[in-house]
Structure 1
Amino acid sequence: MRSNFLTIIFLLNSFLLLGQQRHKDIPFTQDYAIKYEGAVAAKAVDFDRNGHIQVLAESGLKRLTPGQLLVPGKIVDDNLYRFMGDKSIVDLTQVDQQLVYLDEKVIFSNAWAGSLYIEHQVESPIGFLALNKSEFLVYNPSVVTHIRAGKKVREIKLQDAIKELALGSHGGYYVLTDKAVFEGSLNSASLKSVFAKPGVVSMAVHEGHLVLAHESEGLLFLDKQHKLQKADHRLPSLKLTKVRSIDGQLWIGSDEGAFKLAQNGRYDYYASKRWLNNDRVVDIKKGPQTSVLILNAGGLSKIVFEQMTLAQKAEFYEKQSRIRHIRNGFNSHLFGMKDGDISTGYLVDSDNDGLWTSMYLASQAFRYAVTKSPEALQNTRESLDAMERLYSINPVKGFPARTFERTGHKSKLGDPEHWQKAAEKDWDWKATTSSDEAIGHIFAFGVIAEVVDVPELKQQAVKLIDSMMTHIIENDMYLVDFDGKPTLWGKWNPSYVNGFDKNIGDRKLNSSNIIGMLQTAYHFTKKPKYKEKIQELFDKHGYLENLMRPMEEIGKADKQSDNLSQLLSVYWNHSDDEMYFLGYWGLYRYALNNDLKEKYKASIIDHFEAERPEKDAVWNIMTAMTGVKDFALGDAMWFLQEYPMDLIQWTIKNSQRSDIDLLEKNFRNQYTKEVLPPDELKISRHNANRFILDGGHDGAAENSAGDIWLLPYWMGKYLQVID
């Protein structure tokens, strides 16, 4: 009988999703950086067919020690070929996937049994261009020398200082000086000036056209007749150092990071220590397999482009969250790190341990419901036990602590004045629990009670729902702390909620949250007091009208409003969005009747439309729960695919960029017309404003993927919008 019931539920759910888009989890390109540290005054980099990467520095050849994502390698002296140390190498390049070197007297290689050895007879060379294994262009600051089969074919002298050479698309080559670009032919002793303009710092032949990096005017794109086709100054940085064409993609280096031109015309920006040791780019080269090597003033970054599915990314994040982010069952973040070194961090308590853990806990419940993974079930058990202890570690019945920690020096804890001694030896607990904690708890407990088919876990979750909601009802719709007073934000009493003007967000938010919480309690306990309280709040206090109020009516308080209203409406609080959407699970799924469910659906969609520009996966996928066809699935998948695998809180800066469109100051603090990709922004949870351009903490902490990424992914899997 139970099996038939579950089949009916599955079919009903599938019917609701008819017409909705679904994401097929095919591989996408995931990028991440492997960094190699060493400020070695590097000049060039290249690699051979064995994947051996070599860096040329002023002090000689260098190699790399092993490195991986989040565990940097180092740049060290390369002593593999002992007698290379006797050479005065000035440049290196790749020929037929082998490394070839230019020193003050010869061109040579260790490949081909060391048979390549050409005396170039160029005085004070600074670089060379390889045409093939036996033909080279060697140059010093004023002369280009063509060498073929070990013999000097010709010399071409220039009046201006030579900066670099590049191969043309039809067998010729280009010479960049400090005043002009010249075109040469391998069969001619003369050069032709094709573009005269001082200030060009680098050049590349891209798709058969010359692209120039100018010191003040950005990128200059020339047509096939070498006429200026367009100038692009809308770049992440105008302080350009290099431009290179790699595997059909245009890469640009600057003093403020590297970027590449994407197919949609925007630039993908690789800056900050998430990607580079130092933002000053020295050179950019193709790397092994599908990687790109970015030589910078602080070392070398290998940007890896790997084909990956969301399922594989989830596996990576599952390991990340378990190995470094579980504290007594809580989903915590690593803190106190030194310059991004994860080995130096420690797990830290948070005001919102219960909230972040609720989101992780729900992700594992969804994961178990989808996969029946024993690991997901055990993760659910452990975090649910931590959540349950929040209720038992303090003396107030039905009241959850914010968090708990072993007794120690209080200076090590956040907000030490809010910590209380527990009756249990060696433990303290934190008071002043907030409304965002409460809604997180009820969301997670409701998810477990609904989707986890393990009776004891269901009972444990329902008991916790009943405990908190009984406390709230018995305390006149307040969370009442150990001192007998309501906490600062744990207030759903009508006199408090309706004390706000109708356009103040907290009136709508608190009404929406408490109705969802009461519905969840009634749905799983069937106790009449919860349904009766809902009806009372609807009939006597207008909570249905409050929660249905359109988002466009929410705004700033009038000047005559009270101080709290003024404080709460200076700008839109994105933490409220998180509370709303977590609350929508209980509001919509456990509605008392279909009429209410349709009303709630309209309210959720109205809110989603206001949040659509953020492209936040939680908002979008939670909206999909209603069965609406358009919930911006593509934006949600973009969020999941673009979120960086490096969750360290590096300091990020985007405000200098001229390739983004800024907006006028507004209530929602949306600073740009389009939100930037997550891997170009500082790491933030769903309660933060994703339009903030600058921020971070210099690599002092690492966030857990448990709440940021795993929740929307596994919820999407459960709701069948991700195949």
Structure 2
Amino acid sequence: MKNYFHHFLGAVLLLSFSCSEAPKTETKTASLPVYKDVPYLQDYSIKYNKQQDDLLLYQAFMDRNQTIQLSGSDGVMRTHDGQFLYPGTLLKDKTYRPIADRNISAMTVYKDQFVYLDDKAVLSNAWAGTLYLKHQLPKANTFAAGNDFGFLVSDGQSLQYLHKKKPTWTGSLNNDVVKSIRFDNKNNSYWVLGENSISSFSPGNQTLKTVFQGNNFTSFALFDNKLILTTLDGYLEVDPASGEQIGNKVTKLPWTEITYVEVIDNRLWFGSTKGAFKLKKDGKFDYYYGQRWLPGNNVKHISKGTDGSILILTDKGLGRIIFEEMTLHDKAQYYEKQVRNRHIRLGFNATLVDMENGNFDTGRLSDSDNDGLWTTMYLAGQVFRYTVTQSEEALQNCRESMDAMERLFSINPVPGFPSRSFERSGYIEQLHDPERWQHTDDEEWDWKSTTSSDEAIGHIFAYGVMAELMNNDLKDRAITLIDTLMSHIVRNDMYMVDFDGKPTTWGRWNPEYVNARPKMVGDRKINASNIIGMLQTAYHFTGKEKYKEKAFDLMENHGYLDNLMWPMKDVAMAPEDADDWSKMLSESWNHSDDEMYFVGYWGLYKYAFNDTLKTKFKEAIIDHWEIERPEKEGAWNIMTALTGTQEFDLEEAAWYLREHPMDMVSWNIMNSHRKDITFIEPNFREQTISEVLPPDERPVQRHNANMFRLDRVSSKDGSEEYSAGDIWLLPYWMGRYLGVISEPQS
């Protein structure tokens, strides 16, 4: 079935290799390594929800026509509709009345055709309906196809072997209940799993032999000349020839309550009571948990579709995992559409909120404390995109976002002061932090006060990028805003002063405030780093000496150079005798500060006043990057390439971009239960495990969050969708501009 995403992706692939998107002014920093943007397999999910709570689902398969059918307590089901991000449903299959009217208890695929089991026979509509093998097990509920249209059938107690040309064989397991049957093509035999045993049946001499005995088996598979026997506490490996267990039970898994196992493309896929997972070549797992991937987490069955997708059947419906070839550029084209279609509010890069279980049509665009920051990060990415591709769409995106940014300054009465946000009047009580909103002279509009340093550094970053790379009216508009904001700060003694004549809580770069913090407290370093970068940017583009003089005054007379050079490893909690504010600021590592640092590094490094300072600033940036390396943060690694260093974890940056989920909905995610990850002791950095998880296995989040966050548990599961504008498009297009990510390769 074709869906919207497939149609869109086809268009994207054509776009990727068309001359219209060929880089025209792509900039490569000399001698840096380059990630070649070749196609990789991007996974995403199409979900199908069941409609009746009491419906039980047993198996799901796809035939050679790419039709999906399922067996369940209501007979044969089929998928209806369903697209990426737009779930379909499961309906009773009425396509062929004689099948719909039968008591179908199980099904399988044989030679890529559907085969059914009911209370009388094994049958199929394929082969002109000639497959019809009667059995004598009215409660038959499991079967497997062998060679030459032979089938082994069971009702849990008895077994029957059926074949058109051979006599029917009947037998049973010794004091055990049949749970599952599989055919071993290599040895032309069947394996029969009981609750406490596994046996081999040879159709040639019609003998049944118990090979291994244990306890509480749930499923099994044949893999790498071994029997994989799963339980609710991990799995066993057994030598099928000797019947001996190999090693100890395997429990280092995402979850040990295994309900199903399947071999697909020489890889083990496991279903569990907490999602599905695939064992990779390196011994690690790809983990599919939550509604990002599956309608439910209790997995009942796994199979491979004839189109290469993986069908994961759960108690609440079917998750179809698609693996689509694409480049990072293809992914960027998808995300560009995501931002423009659902995330632009008055020109701001916004979040969609109040959705009902991931339904975009029920959501609304929300204001944010950080409308200015998220928008400037998106804006900078679009400037990089325009510089690389000369895309008229990117240029228009820049203009629309710049309109919003300029209005942040003009909508309030304070000269040079950027509002946090603005909105039409009449909604203050429904907005975030209603006490921060102020009325304008225009009764139609309100604006948000208390702007912080997060927004200020975002403004200067984006305007600096625009002023440097644009060669049109946007360049002059950017320089005007740089001068407007920085004049306000310098004029007000290195504070941002609000409508009430007082400095905002966080807009403070004055030495009296900054140096009141003990040296190990991060705010002392971040404020010094940011303001020097901001003053350098202002001087670079305006040439006004006041900015240069103020920067050198802060560095030479107030220790700001020492502050910003403070080693990251020495950022720590304030001592016991420190003031309460400093203690509050340093309770743990501040990941928002990381975002502010790296966004500010553009101006700190590129516009350094002299080579001596530039060398020092490079040292500070790389020192910070070294601390951040365990997070494998795409944006921070790519920003570090700005310095010209040869080592900036390019592959980890590309890994971040490849592994980021296409689905950016805030689904509930759980990882803290996993047995395959190594937990470490609580620490100041808030690193929870020894190695960071891929982005598509953890909660969706912005760059200012802890990449080692394992869980998201909320009653508002699926209530928000984040914009890719700042999260993904900024690092991608920055990498393209810096030349460390290539244009798409065929």
1:377 aligns with 2:390: no
Question: 8 Å contact 1:167–1:205 — kept in the other structure?
Answer: no
Question: How far apart are 1:588 and its partner, in Å?
Answer: 0.3
In the alignment, what sits opposite 1:193?
Answer: 210
Give CA deviations for 1:343-387 in whole Å, capped at 9, x if unaligned: 110000000000000110011000000000000000010001101
CA distance in 1, matches of 2:188, 2:139: 26
- Measured in 2, the distance between the counterparts of 1:141 and 1:553 equals 65
2:731 is the alignment partner of 1:712: yes
Tell me the TM-score normalised to structure 1 length.
0.96
The residue aligned with 1:51 is 66
Where does 1:266-305 land on structure 2 (aligned, <5 Å)?
Answer: 266-305=284-323
Aligned to 2:60, what secondary structure does the other structure show?
strand
Mapped to 2, the partners of 1:409 and 1:586 lie a distance apart of 37
Whichever residue aligns with residue 101 of structure 2, its letter is D
Quote the Cα distance in structure 2 between the aligned partners of 1:228 and 1:684: 44
Amino acid at match of 2:74: S
Task: Measure, in 1, the Cα distance between the counterparts of 2:532 and 2:106.
Answer: 70
Q: Provide the aligned length of Structure 1 versus Structure 2.
A: 710
Per-residue deviation, residues 430-474 of structure 1 (Å, max 9, x unmatched): 000000010001001111111122x20000011000000000000
SS at match of 1:182: strand
Which string of whole-angstrom CA distances, capped at 9 and with x for unpartnered residues, describes residues 376-399 of structure 1?
A: 000010001101100000001110
* Counterpart in the other structure of 2:527: 510
Question: Does 2:126 correspond to 1:111?
Answer: yes
Q: Distance in 2 between matches of 1:86 and 1:476?
A: 83
SS at structure 2 position matched to 1:278:
coil
Following superposition, the deviation at residue 132 of structure 1 comes to 4.0
CA distance in 2, matches of 1:25, 1:311: 8
1: CA distance between counterparts of 2:171 and 2:75? Answer: 29
2:655 aligned to 638, 658, 663, which one?
638
Among 372, 382, 391, the residue aligned to 1:354: 372
Match of 1:469 in 2: 486
Does 2:720 align with 1:701? Answer: yes
Q: What is the distance in 2 between the residues matched to 1:351 and 1:331?
A: 12
Asked whether the 8 Å contact 1:96–1:133 carries over to 2, the reply is no
- Cα deviations across residues 158-197 of structure 1 (Å, max 9, x unaligned)? 1311000112242222111111111222223322222210
Structure 1 pair 589–10 and aligned structure 2 pair: CA distance change class (3 A): farther
- What is the CA distance between 1:265 and its match in structure 2? 0.6
Q: Structure 1 residue 121: deviation in Å?
A: 2.9
Match in the other structure for 2:179? 163
Q: Which residue of 1 aligns with 2:593?
A: 576
Pairs within 5 Å for 1:396-475:
396-453=414-471, 455-475=472-492
What are the within-5 Å matches in structure 2 for residues 684-699 of structure 1?
A: 684-695=701-712, 697-699=716-718
Native 8 Å contact 1:120 1:150 kept in 2: no
* C-alpha distance in 2 between matches for 1:85 and 1:537: 80
Of 13, 17, 23, the residue aligned with 2:30 is: 17
Alignment of 1:62 with 2:85, yes or no, is: no
Other-structure match for 1:37? 49
C-alpha offsets along residues 105-130 of structure 1, whole Å, 9 cap, x if unaligned?
11111122222222223342111101
* Contact kept? 2:144, 2:151, Cα under 8 Å: yes
* SS of the residue 1:228 aligns to: coil
Would you say the 8 A contact 1:107–1:116 is kept in 2? yes
Conserved in 2, the CA contact under 8 Å of 1:286 and 1:292? yes
CA distance in 1, matches of 2:371, 2:697: 27
Residues 114-125 of structure 1 aligned to structure 2 (within 5 Å): 114-125=129-140
One-letter amino acid matched to 2:381: S
Q: Which residue of the partner structure matches residue 667 of structure 1?
A: 684
Amino acid in the other structure paired with 1:616: E
Between 1:315-324 and 1:218-227, the stretch displaced more is 218-227
2:9 matched residue in structure 1: none
Q: Distance in 2 between matches of 1:423 and 1:520?
A: 33
* Alpha-carbon displacement from aligned partner over 1:2-23 (angstroms, at most 9, x marks no partner): xxxxxxx989x64x531x2210
CA shift for structure 1 position 214? 1.4
Q: Distance in 2 between matches of 1:703 and 1:378?
A: 22
SS at match of 2:409: helix
The secondary structure found in structure 1 opposite 2:663 is coil
Q: For 1:269, what is the secondary structure of its paired residue? A: strand
Distance 1:624 1:221 in 2: 47
Percent identity, aligned pairs only, is 52
Local SS of the residue matching 1:648: coil
- Kept after mapping to 2: 8 A contact 1:212/1:220: yes
**Partner-residue secondary structure (3-state), 1:395:** coil
| 1:133, distance to aligned residue in structure 2 (A) | 5.6
Q: Which runs of 5+ in 1 are unaligned?
A: 1-8
Matches within 5 A, 1:612-631: 612-631=629-648
Alpha-carbon contact 2:25-2:389 (below 8 Å) kept: no
3-state SS of 1:232 partner: coil
Following TM superposition, the consecutive aligned residue runs of length 4 or more in structure 1 with deviations greater than 6 angstroms are: none
Determine the structure 1 residue equivalent to 2:17. Answer: none
2:279 corresponds to: 261
What does 1:531-550 correspond to in 2, within 5 Å? 531-550=548-567
- The 3-state SS of whatever aligns with 2:218 is strand
Secondary structure of the residue aligned to 2:372 is: helix
Give 2:222's aligned residue.
Answer: 205
What code does the residue aligned with 2:311 have?
Answer: L
**TM-superposition CA deviations, 1:649-687 (whole Å, max 9, x none):** 011111111110001111100000001111110011000
User: Within the alignment, does 1:487 sit opposite 2:504 as a pair?
Assistant: yes
- Counterpart of 2:384, as a letter, is F
SS at match of 2:415: coil
**Greater relative CO (CA pairs within 8 A, separation 6+):** 2
Question: Does residue 392 of the first structure (1) align with residue 410 of the second (2)?
Answer: yes
How much is the aligned-residue C-alpha RMSD, in angstroms? 1.4
2:537 match: 520
1:95 Cα deviation from its structure 2 partner: 1.2
Per-residue Cα deviation, 1:62-94 (whole angstroms, up to 9, x for no partner): 111111111000001111112222211111111
**Deviation (angstroms), 1:227:** 2.4
Spell out, residue by residue over 1:515-539, the C-alpha distance to the aligned partner (whole angstroms, 9 max, x if none). Answer: 0000010111111111111111111
| Whole-angstrom distance in 2 between the partners of 1:91 and 1:101 | 6
Counterpart-to-counterpart distance in 2, 1:142 and 1:58: 20
Preserved CA contact (<8 Å) 2:133 2:163: no
Change (3 A) 1:150 1:422: farther
- Alignment-derived partner of residue 93 in structure 1: 108
- Report if the CA contact (8 A) 1:363-1:711 is conserved: yes
Assess if the C-alpha contact under 8 Å between 1:118 and 1:150 holds in 2: no
- TM-score when scaled to structure 2? 0.94
Could you tell me whether the CA contact under 8 Å between 2:146 and 2:190 is conserved in 1? no
CA drift of 1:28 comes to 1.0
1:28 matched to 2:40? The reply is yes
Q: Residue 332 in 1 paired to residue 347 in 2?
A: no
Instruction: Name the CA distance, whole Å, in 1 between partners of 2:470 and 2:229.
Output: 59
Aligned to 1:245: 263
In terms of mean alpha carbon deviation, does 119-128 or 569-578 score higher? 119-128
CA 1:268 to 1:279, structure 2 compared with 1: closer, same or farther past 3 Å? same
Gaps of 5+ in 2: 1-23
Aligned partner of residue 105 in structure 2, secondary structure: strand
d(CA) in 1 for partners of 2:97 and 2:157? 33
SS in 2 for 1:200: coil
Tell me whether 115-124 or 460-469 shows the greater mean CA deviation: 115-124
